[in-house]
């Protein structure tokens, strides 16, 4: 039938001579996972690709290392990460979620005149920036695309997420990601980090001042959304960043309540998670 997608099994059995089979299988795996709301097991992926489990396992390990796939260690199932979405978001600035959030974030950018970012928490394991908008009232701006990685211990966004977690879990995530000093002002002591997170939790937003990069300060507030399970959890973070030669620490901190207000508004429009939350297991 015209318009019917090619059968991945047929392609795997008869690869085109000009293609790289490993790349073709990786793309087929991404396509399979994109249509699996509950993820796929190693056996299911192996069967769909018509390869043995050893090949499928190496393929999935490669995609996981590259950040395109994550594995639910409890259910032993594989899922796509938001990295696939992020590639599309660089061209398409609208999606189901962003379509609802964009106007609110743009309004915050205009009110502050600074860089506003939205990040999402991926299954309690990672936080990723997915959208950025810059206020138009300023001539000196921070490049919204200078880095897509969130440093948990030095970015306000990372600390805003960590402040919503039990400190043992927050410390575990920081330890996994590393806690290296990026500037002379970076917090690299766990007890100091704990005090910062306690303070941030009490006031509703986190702040960093030249901790990730000299000349940049930021505030960030968590988006605490109700889940179908009846709990409330951090699903994302709203941040405001500004050059320190334009805003003092006190002035940047004054943007914190504005970020918290926007985060509260986004929490009300955030889609409910239809899947049960992932139960995290600490390594032995």
* pLDDT score of 231: 81
Residue 115 backbone phi and psi in degrees, to 5: -75, 125
| pLDDT of amino acid 82 | 76
Q: What is the pLDDT of residues 226-281, one digit of tens each?
A: 877 778 889 999 999 999 998 999 999 999 999 999 999 999 888 765 433 333 33
Please tell me the CATH code under which domain 85-269 is placed.
3.30.450.40
The fold of 8-80 is: Arc Repressor Mutant, subunit A (1.10.10)
Element (H, E) at 65: helix 53-65
Domains 8-80 and 85-269 in one fold: no
The rounded distance, in Å, linking the Cα atoms of 152 and 177 is 8
Note the pLDDT of residue 139. Answer: 52
pLDDT for residue 124: 82
Contact 62, 36 (CB under 8 A): no
Q: Where are the domains of the chain?
A: 8-80, 85-269
Per-residue confidence of the chain (284 residues) as pLDDT tens digits?
333 344 444 444 444 455 588 888 988 998 888 878 789 999 999 999 999 999 999 999 999 988 889 999 889 999 988 777 666 655 444 446 667 788 899 999 999 999 999 998 887 888 988 888 888 766 555 555 545 578 899 999 999 999 999 999 999 999 988 899 999 999 999 999 999 999 999 999 999 999 999 999 999 999 998 877 778 889 999 999 999 998 999 999 999 999 999 999 999 888 765 433 333 333 33
The rounded distance, in Å, linking the Cα atoms of 134 and 137 is 9
* H helix intervals, the chain: 8-13, 21-34, 42-49, 53-65, 83-89, 96-112, 156-162, 167-177, 190-203, 249-253, 256-269
In angstroms, what CA-CA distances link 257 with 14, 146, 185?
Answer: 59, 26, 24
Contact by Cβ (8 Å): 109, 138:
no
Contact status, residue 187 vs residue 171, Cβ threshold 8 Å: no
Give kind and range of the element (H or E) at residue 26. helix 21-34
Give the 3-state secondary structure of residue 146.
coil
Distance CA 212, CA 182 (A): 6
Separation CA 105–CA 118 (nearest Å): 8
Residue with tokens 């056996």: 43
Q: DSSP label at 226?
A: E
Alpha-carbon gap, residue 145 to 81, rounded angstroms:
19
Q: CA-CA distance, 214 to 82, in Å (whole number)? A: 29
CA dist., res. 106 & res. 5, Å (int): 38
pTM > 0.85: no
Q: How many CB atoms lie within 10 A of CB 223?
A: 28
């Amino acid at each position: 039938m015209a318009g019917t997608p090619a059968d991945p099994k047929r392609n795997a059995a008869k690869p085109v001579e000009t293609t790289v089979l490993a790349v073709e299988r990786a793309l087929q795996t991404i396509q399979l996972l994109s249509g699996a709301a509950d993820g796929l097991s190693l056996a299911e992926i192996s069967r769909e690709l018509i390869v043995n489990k050893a090949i499928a396992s190496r393929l999935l390990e490669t995609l996981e290392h590259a950040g395109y796939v994550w594995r639910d260690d409890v259910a032993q199932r594989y899922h796509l990460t938001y990295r696939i979405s992020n590639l599309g978001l660089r061209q398409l600035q609208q999606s189901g979620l962003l379509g609802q959030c964009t106007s609110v974030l743009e309004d915050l950018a205009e009110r502050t005149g600074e860089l506003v970012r939205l990040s999402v928490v991926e299954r309690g394991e990672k936080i990723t920036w997915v959208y950025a908008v810059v206020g138009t009232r300023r001539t000196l701006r921070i490049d919204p695309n200078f880095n897509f990685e969130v440093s948990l211990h030095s970015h306000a966004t990372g600390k805003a997420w960590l402040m919503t977690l039990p400190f043992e879990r927050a410390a575990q995530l920081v330890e996994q990601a590393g806690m290296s000093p990026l500037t002379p002002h970076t917090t690299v002591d766990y007890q100091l980090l704990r005090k910062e997170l306690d303070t941030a939790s009490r006031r509703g937003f986190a702040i960093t001042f030249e901790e990730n990069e000299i000349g940049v300060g930021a505030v960030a507030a968590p988006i605490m959304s109700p889940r179908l399970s009846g709990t409330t959890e951090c699903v994302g973070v709203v941040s405001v960043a500004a050059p320190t030669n334009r805003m003092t620490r006190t002035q940047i901190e004054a943007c914190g309540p504005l970020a918290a207000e926007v985060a509260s508004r986004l929490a009300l429009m955030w889609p409910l998670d239809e899947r049960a939350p992932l139960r995290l297991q600490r390594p032995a």
